[in-house]
Amino acid sequence: MAPLVILVLVTLVLTGAGAAGVRWLRPWQMALRGGVAAMFTATGVAHFVGMREQLISMVPPGLPAPGLLVTVTGVLELAGAVGVLWPRTVKWAAAGLSAMLVLMFPANVYAAVHDVLTAWDDQLVPRTLMQVVFLAATVTVLVHARRSSRAAEPVRPLPQ
């Protein structure tokens, strides 16, 4: 639940800052990028501090080197958090984070079905709904970044 709270609160605070006059935060998409970055910073750090053992236990048994997988995904989440803040990498970062959310979802299903995590928000339905919200956020960042980069491209004249 903490990642969802972070995503929503940071996005709302940054949206409020934009409304209060911080010009670069005026487009709501910029506030959403900040919320996504904050959320993935928190989840990325959790791969190393606090929840590491729980995350390792979520890796389905058929996958090799659970500790290494948790480390790699933590590094990728932290890199993605930085990447969504930088205009040159926002598209790649948002696409990568979106892919990770889809690819790592089976670990959440495994954890819910096998009672690896027992909190109510780790059960299959709440976790799935949160995952949909996270994916909607990263895909929204990706779509907006793609549209913005296309709008910034110079129009080339048609060959005659």
Nearest to 41 by CA among 70, 9, 78: 78
Residue 151 confidence (pLDDT) above 80: no
What integer is the mean pLDDT of 120-131?
Answer: 90
Query: For residues 103 and 127, what is the distance between their CA atoms, to the nearest angstrom?
Result: 15
Record the pTM: 0.88
Residue 25 confidence (pLDDT) above 70: yes
